Amino acid sequence: MVVTIASLKKGQRGIIKEFSVEVVPLKLLEMGCLPGNEVCLVQTAPFNDPLYLNINGSHLAIRRETASKIEIELI
């Protein structure tokens, strides 16, 4: 099974793998969501969506749909 940001449990961490531009918008990159960075799921909103992430010190919220497209490696 492919492990993505969406499969993180609260408090779990992972390292973002390479991804293609078609899936992840540039804006997300600019806000710190880069391959090689560490991502931690801080909290999920009610109904489990969106996800509140800490990516290498940047605090962002993205929707589960986008999160499920960003592959990670669990640590």
Which parts of this chain interact with another protein (CB under 8 A)?
Answer: 21-22, 25-32, 34-35, 42-43, 45-47, 49-50, 52, 56-63, 65-66
**CA pseudo-torsion sign 16, 29, 60, 51:** negative
Q: How far is the CB of 24 from another protein (least distance, A)?
A: 8
Q: Which is nearer to another protein, 1 or 47 (CB)?
A: 47
Q: How far is the CB of 71 from another protein (least distance, A)?
A: 16
Structure tokens at 6: 């969406």
Q: How far is the CB of 46 from another protein (least distance, A)?
A: 4
Exposure string (b/e) for 31-62, b if CB count within 10 Å is 16 or more?
Answer: ebbeeeeebbbeebeeeeebbebbbeeeebeb
